[in-house]
Chain A
Amino acid sequence: MERWYKIDNTGKIFHAVTNASNSSVYRVSMIMKESVNAELLQDALDKVIKRFPMLAVKVRKGLFWDFMEENDEKLHIQEETTYPCYIINPRENHGYLMRVLYFQRRVSVEIFHSLTDGSGAVEFLKSLIFQYLLFQEKDVTTDGEVLFPDDVPSKYETEDSFEKYFHPSGQSQQREKESPAFQIKGSPFDPPGVNVIHGVIQASEVNKFAKKMGASVTEFITAVLIHSIYAETMKYGLYQESIMIALPANLRRQFPSVTLRNFFSVSNVGVPVTDETTLEDIMKTVSEQLSSKMKKETLQAGINHHVQLQKKLSARIVPVFVKYRAMRYGFYHFGEMSKTMTLSNLGNIKIPDSMKPYIERMELVLYPTKNSPINCGIASLNDRMTITFARSIVETEIIKSFFSQLTHLTGLDIEVYSNNWGEQT
């Protein structure tokens, strides 16, 4: 009998809101130093997938909630042919809600967000590459930084940490009625698709520069982004809305957990920008808001609120298709309207020293949505920070302004490349 898993607290929303313009599929990639050997990658995947049972699943329909069930079909690697974050059709993928892709030197894992968050995806990718290097007979060791593919999965890796840290009697944070944020408008690509622009910069120097400015890397980049959005889209208009950046936070940092399922929350930070607002002002406000929203008590209240919502009997006994409709309404009318853009920073990814010579760097691609047509993902590895903008619209002004400002401010070299979607004649 196959094992099964309830979909975790955050994961449920992705089943409700996924459609053609919102794939809920994100990508983490590692750029290797050499071209990928497809045969060895498939062998590595065959082995590693067993180590991550909560990813090797298919979704099944239930009356009150859908659920995940063990999938023992083979997951085939695929050569990359479509744009990043292309919607996953389980029927064409042996029921899997993830895919493993390769192209030249890049190995990518694309995952439907309901399965796991960025941390879970990175752990999977690290193990996959570790096993791949082992099959290449490279002398690599885990050094406690990679989940060893031969180990038996721990029960703590499959736990729903939202349930674990939920305090029924604890303070619950009622979602404040957030006012609508400024929304980026543009002309959607025809045919629809996702264009990605990557900028590669020296991570340690960015970190040093941010510290000099009295901010963390995420705060610094958020501030530059807000400044760019204002300069390119709001400066000459009459807008009342603030620019709000949604920043996913890894809850494992505050609430000890080794779960490989979703365990994150999203904090919206925003600034009402005017012509007089300087980058330093924006950075100060962002830092203040972030430190307040990342307090353990605030995050705990958020966990309590979300789990309580799900546990309400009135919500539980409603058929899932009705719940999905309600979730979709909330997502599109409140969640999506309260942010201008999402910026996710995976931080500095730790890998064993023995693996470093074979890997150049990492990329994170965050799927754009209809109301958030440009999103930004950051990942650092081997002192190389890759800032990736994924967009579903033609306009590039914000991205251009962001990289120009970053170059101008830090004086660092930024290497830029793109998949050119929507730009080929």
Chain B
Amino acid sequence: MNQCKNCGVWVEGLTCPLCHRGIADPTTTTEVQWYPDYQEVSHDQRSVFAFKLTIFIAVSIVSGCLLINLLTMPHKLWSLYVATVVVYLLITCNHTILSKSHLGGKILVQLISLSGLLSLTDALMGFQRWSVNYIVPFLVVAATFLVTVIILKKRMRWRAYVGFVVTMIVLGFLPIVLYVAGVATAIWPSAVTALYALLTLFGMLLFSDKTFKTDLVRRFHL
């Protein structure tokens, strides 16, 4: 042990950890290694770089298109179509492809972003309601079906999907809400989606064991 004359404490090495000065007249030169030599801690820098790169490319495309749009035909903002597609591709790239999120989460995010993309496109084209009448209900049914298939396939790990299937069932009633609110005008796709959601719920309760109900209790505990 050597004493640091500056701080008054005893240290095992030749440098004081407090004042960082070298020990004057050390009596011992051997040092106990209390901690490992740290390698650079990886903060998943590759995925951070990929995320930044996709953001940069997206902003470049959108701003470039906006500039060309404003310089050539300012009366028709076609660059907004590009912007919505770019945002969708950005989400797809960063969440669906690059992230390590749960598959159920990826399906849910795809459902929301694809619905958003097509609804915005519809709105930009004068809102003929094809998105809310047909596309959104169809996407909800497709996503619910996909999660149900995964649950049936992954019998051992199906519980991880319970939250997602419940969310899909809840979303199954969104088209009917849109119809009641007057946003959608076609009743049958909304009704079919709601029925499909109800049947999925009924099927889960009927065919799954007690685990599904218990899991619901846990997930909805107050």
- Bound Cα distance A409, B201 (Å): 71
Which of B33, B36, B38, B100 gathers the greatest number of chain A CB atoms within 10 Å? B38
- Asked if residues A423 and B20 are in contact (CB atoms below 8 Å), the reply is yes
Within 8 A of B (CB), among A18-67: 20, 60-65, 67
Within 8 A of A (CB), among B130-146: none
- Asked if residues A417 and B34 are in contact (CB atoms below 8 Å), the reply is yes
- Asked if residues A65 and B222 are in contact (CB atoms below 8 Å), the reply is yes
Segment of A79-87, A166-174, A208-216, A242-250 engaged in the interface with chain B: A79-87
- Bound Cα distance A413, B8 (Å): 8
- Asked if residues B10 and A414 are in contact (CB atoms below 8 Å), the reply is yes
- Asked if residues B9 and A199 are in contact (CB atoms below 8 Å), the reply is yes
- CB-CB under 8 A from B4, the residues of chain A are 416
- CB-CB under 8 A from A317, the residues of chain B are 222
| Minimum Cβ distance to chain B for residue A400 (Å) | 4
- CB-CB under 8 A from B34, the residues of chain A are 104, 106, 198, 417-419
Within 8 A of A (CB), among B175-219: 210-211, 214, 218-219
**Residue in chain B with minimal CB distance to A421:** B38
- Asked if residues A67 and B36 are in contact (CB atoms below 8 Å), the reply is no
A191 proximal to B (CB < 8 A): yes
B53 proximal to A (CB < 8 A): no
- Asked if residues B10 and A396 are in contact (CB atoms below 8 Å), the reply is no
Interface of B is mostly: loop
- Asked if residues A63 and B219 are in contact (CB atoms below 8 Å), the reply is yes
- Asked if residues A416 and B11 are in contact (CB atoms below 8 Å), the reply is yes
- Asked if residues A67 and B218 are in contact (CB atoms below 8 Å), the reply is yes
A420 proximal to B (CB < 8 A): yes
Partner of B163, one of A6, A20, A61, A403: A61
A197 proximal to B (CB < 8 A): yes
Partner of A424, one of B10, B38, B43: B38
- CB-CB under 8 A from B13, the residues of chain A are 417
Q: Please, what's the 1-or-0 string for B32-66, where 1 marks a CB less than 8 Å from any CB in chain A?
A: 11111111110100000000000000000000000
Q: Please, what's the 1-or-0 string for A85-111, where 1 marks a CB less than 8 Å from any CB in chain B?
A: 010000100000000000110100000
**Residue in chain A with minimal CB distance to B20:** A423
A4 proximal to B (CB < 8 A): yes
**Residue in chain A with minimal CB distance to B105:** A61
**Residue in chain B with minimal CB distance to A407:** B8
Partner of A403, one of B7, B37, B211, B220: B7
| Minimum Cβ distance to chain B for residue A192 (Å) | 8
- Asked if residues A408 and B8 are in contact (CB atoms below 8 Å), the reply is yes
| Minimum Cβ distance to chain B for residue A243 (Å) | 20
A193 proximal to B (CB < 8 A): yes
- CB-CB under 8 A from B163, the residues of chain A are 61
**Residue in chain A with minimal CB distance to B210:** A1
- CB-CB under 8 A from A62, the residues of chain B are 218-221
**Residue in chain B with minimal CB distance to A4:** B218
Size category of the A interface is: 35 or more
A179 proximal to B (CB < 8 A): no
- Bound Cα distance A317, B220 (Å): 10
A399 proximal to B (CB < 8 A): yes
Known: A80-B36, A191-B43, A415-B10. A316 touches B18 (CB 8 A): no
- Asked if residues B18 and A396 are in contact (CB atoms below 8 Å), the reply is yes
- Asked if residues B41 and A65 are in contact (CB atoms below 8 Å), the reply is no
B1 proximal to A (CB < 8 A): yes
- CB-CB under 8 A from B100, the residues of chain A are 91
- CB-CB under 8 A from A413, the residues of chain B are 10
B19 proximal to A (CB < 8 A): yes
B74 proximal to A (CB < 8 A): no
| Minimum Cβ distance to chain B for residue A367 (Å) | 15
- CB-CB under 8 A from A79, the residues of chain B are 36
- Bound Cα distance A197, B37 (Å): 15
- Asked if residues A403 and B18 are in contact (CB atoms below 8 Å), the reply is yes
B122 proximal to A (CB < 8 A): no
Within 8 A of B (CB), among A382-410: 396, 399-400, 403-404, 407-408
- CB-CB under 8 A from B210, the residues of chain A are 1
Binding site for B on A (CB under 8 A): 1, 4, 6, 20, 60-65, 67, 69, 79-83, 86, 91, 103-104, 106, 191, 193, 196-199, 316-317, 396, 399-400, 403-404, 407-408, 413-421, 423-424
* 11 interchain pairs, CB-CB under 8 A: A64-B222, A65-B221, A82-B41, A86-B41, A199-B9, A316-B222, A407-B7, A413-B10, A417-B12, A417-B34, A423-B17
New A-B pairs, 19, CB < 8 Å, besides A67-B221, A198-B34? A60-B218, A60-B219, A61-B163, A62-B218, A67-B219, A81-B39, A82-B41, A191-B41, A196-B35, A317-B222, A399-B18, A407-B7, A413-B10, A414-B9, A415-B11, A416-B11, A417-B12, A418-B35, A423-B20
